[in-house]
Amino acid sequence: MRTQVAIVGAGPAGLLLSHLLHLNGIESVVLETRSRADIEATIRAGVLEQGSMDILDQAGVGERMRREGALHHGFELAFGGKRHRIDLTELTGKAITVYPQHEVIIDLVAARLAAGGQLLFEASEVALHGTDTAQPSVTFSHQGEAQRLLADFVIGCDGFHGVSRPAIPAGVRQDFQRTYPFGWFGILVESAPSSDELIYAQHERGFALVSTRSPTVQRLYFQCDPQDHVDNWSDDRIWSELHARTASDGGWKLNEGRIFQKNIIGMRSFVCAPMRSGRLFLAGDAAHIVPPTGAKGMNLAISDVRLLARALEAFYQRGTEELLDGYSDAALKRVWRAEYFSWWMTRLLHTFADASPFERQVQRAELENVVSSRAMRTALAENYVGAF
C-alpha cells in the first residue's frame, strides 16, 4: 500500500488530521489498534476551547457539537465553603463548549468514512521504519494479513503509550516530566446537572470537580490515591466524599444519581522535544501530557494537527518545507503554555500530602488572590479558554 501521509492512531489528533488533509486534497491512511466501537465508547475529555470549536466547524464536523454541546460562559472556583464565578466571556470575550471527546470521535469517524477515508481499525503489530529516510513506512497486521504502508511522512498520533515517540532516537529526544502524587477518581452519574457551570473545588480532603456530559448524565471527579482501586469505593462512600468536598453556601447541593461508571486516572505532566525526527512528526498525547485540571489535552491535540495540516499543505501545494521545519518549535510554544497552566491549576487546587502548614496557608492566599483580583481572574480565564 502507498499513501502520502501515514497516520498512526485514530484519536482526536489522528482523525482530525486525516480530515484536514483530505480537505486540502492530501491522501492519508489511519492505522488504529482498537476497534471502531471501542474508540467511540471510551470516556475521556469534555471541554473544547473556542479555537478547537472553530477548527471543528471549519473542517465541517462541528454541526452536532454546536447543537448538542453546552456552551459555557464561565465556571466556578469553590473553597472555604464559598463559590466564586470566573466569567470567561466577560473577561476574554470567549467561551468553551462541554462536548464529550467520544462524540468528537464519532463525528470525525463518520466524516472520514463519508468522504471515503481509509481508517484501518484493529491493526496490530504496528511498527515504524525508515523515518529518518525519504521513504518511511509502517508495517502492521490487519485482518490476519501482514501489510506495509509506504508514505512520504509518518505522523505519530498514537497517544502516550504508542510506538511513535520511541521511534525518535533517545539521543535526539529530550523528555521532560513530572508525576503527581495523586490521581482522579472519575464517575458517570445518571442525574440532572447540579450546576449550570463546572465547579472546581479546593478542599483540605482533596480536590473535586463537578462537570457534565448531557442533561441526564453528569461527570464528577475527586482527587484520590493513584494506587487506590475502584472496588474500595462504595457509592455511599463516593457521595459522602463528594458532598464533603463541594459543600458550599446558599443551600447548594450536589445531585445524586445512579453511578454507572467508575475509574481512576493517574496525573502527569510530560513533554517530548523535539516533536519531529526526519519524516516522523508527533502530535497530541504522543508528544505531551497535561494533568486534566486545565482541560487542555484534547485542545492541544487539535492545535498540533492544525499546524501540521498547514505545514503539509504548504509542502504538497508549494513545495516548501519551511512550515514543516518550524512545526516542532511552533507547537511546543503552545504546549509549554498549556503545561504551565495545567501545572498551576493542579497546584492551586489539589491537596499535597507533604505540604507544610505554611504552604497550605499560601495556597489559600493564592486562591483568595485569584478570585479577588480582576487581573488574576483575567489571566486564569485567558489560559482556560486558550487565548494564547
Instruction: Please spell the DSSP secondary structure of 290-316, one letter per residue.
Output: --GGG--HHHHHHHHHHHHHHHHHHHH
Residue 69 contact among ligand PHB, ligand RFL, none, beta carbon within 5 to 8 Å by kind: none
Reading the block at residue 35, the C-alpha cell is 476497534
Task: Single out the residue of 3, 28, 33, 303 in contact with ligand RFL (rule: CB under 6 A).
Answer: 33
In the region spanning residues 174 to 193, those forming contacts with ligand RFL, defined by CB under 6 A, are 186
Number of residues that bind ligand PHB (CB under 6 A): 9
Reading the block at residue 136, the C-alpha cell is 518511511
Task: Single out the residue of 3, 5, 7, 12 in contact with ligand RFL (rule: CB under 6 A).
Answer: 12
Residue 34 contact among ligand PHB, ligand RFL, none, beta carbon within 5 to 8 Å by kind: ligand RFL
Give yes or no for residue 44 binding ligand RFL (CB under 6 A).
yes
Q: In 3-state terms, what secondary structure has residue 106?
A: helix
Instruction: Please spell the DSSP secondary structure of 329-386, one letter per residue.
Output: HHHHHHHHHHHHHHHHHHHHHSPPTT--HHHHHHHHHHHHHHHH-HHHHHHHHHHHHT
- Residue 138: CB minimum distance to ligand RFL, A: 9
Give yes or no for residue 210 binding ligand RFL (CB under 6 A).
no
Catalytic residues: 72, 200, 292, 296, 384
Task: Single out the residue of 11, 14, 46, 162 in contact with ligand PHB (rule: CB under 6 A).
Answer: 46
In the region spanning residues 271 to 300, those forming contacts with ligand RFL, defined by CB under 6 A, are 284-285, 292, 295-299
Residues facing 154 on adjacent strands: 6, 280
What CA–CA distance (Å, rounded) separates 90 from 369? Answer: 19
What CA–CA distance (Å, rounded) separates 172 from 165? Answer: 11
Q: What are the angstrom distances between the C-alpha of 165 and each of 29, 71, 251, 297?
A: 19, 35, 50, 17
Residue 219 contact among ligand RFL, ligand PHB, none, beta carbon within 5 to 8 Å by kind: ligand PHB
Task: Single out the residue of 3, 18, 293, 346 in contact with ligand PHB (rule: CB under 6 A).
Answer: 293
Give yes or no for residue 219 binding ligand PHB (CB under 6 A).
yes
In the region spanning residues 251 to 270, those forming contacts with ligand RFL, defined by CB under 6 A, are 265
Interface map 94-113 toward ligand RFL (x if CB under 6 A): -------x------------
Q: State which amino acid sits at residue 303.
A: S
Task: Single out the residue of 55, 295, 300, 380 in contact with ligand PHB (rule: CB under 6 A).
Answer: 295
Q: Contact 373/309 with Cβ under 8 angstroms? A: no
Residues across the chain? 388
Give yes or no for residue 194 binding ligand RFL (CB under 6 A).
no
Which of 28/342 has CB closer to ligand PHB? 342
In the region spanning residues 47 to 76, those forming contacts with ligand PHB, defined by CB under 6 A, are 47
Of residues 175, 188, 201, the one with CA closest to residue 289? 175
- Residue 71: CB minimum distance to ligand PHB, A: 14
Residues 6+ apart with CB under 8 A from 169: 277
User: Which range of residues in 43-51, 58-66, 172-180, 189-197 is near ligand RFL by CB under 6 A?
Assistant: 43-51
Q: Contact 264/187 with Cβ under 8 angstroms? A: no
Q: Contact 307/327 with Cβ under 8 angstroms? A: yes
For ligand RFL, the binding residues (CB under 6 A) are: 8-14, 31-34, 39, 44-47, 101, 123, 126, 157-159, 162-163, 186, 265, 284-285, 292, 295-299, 301
**Which residue ranges make up the site for ligand PHB (CB under 6 A)?**
45-47, 198, 211, 219, 292-293, 295
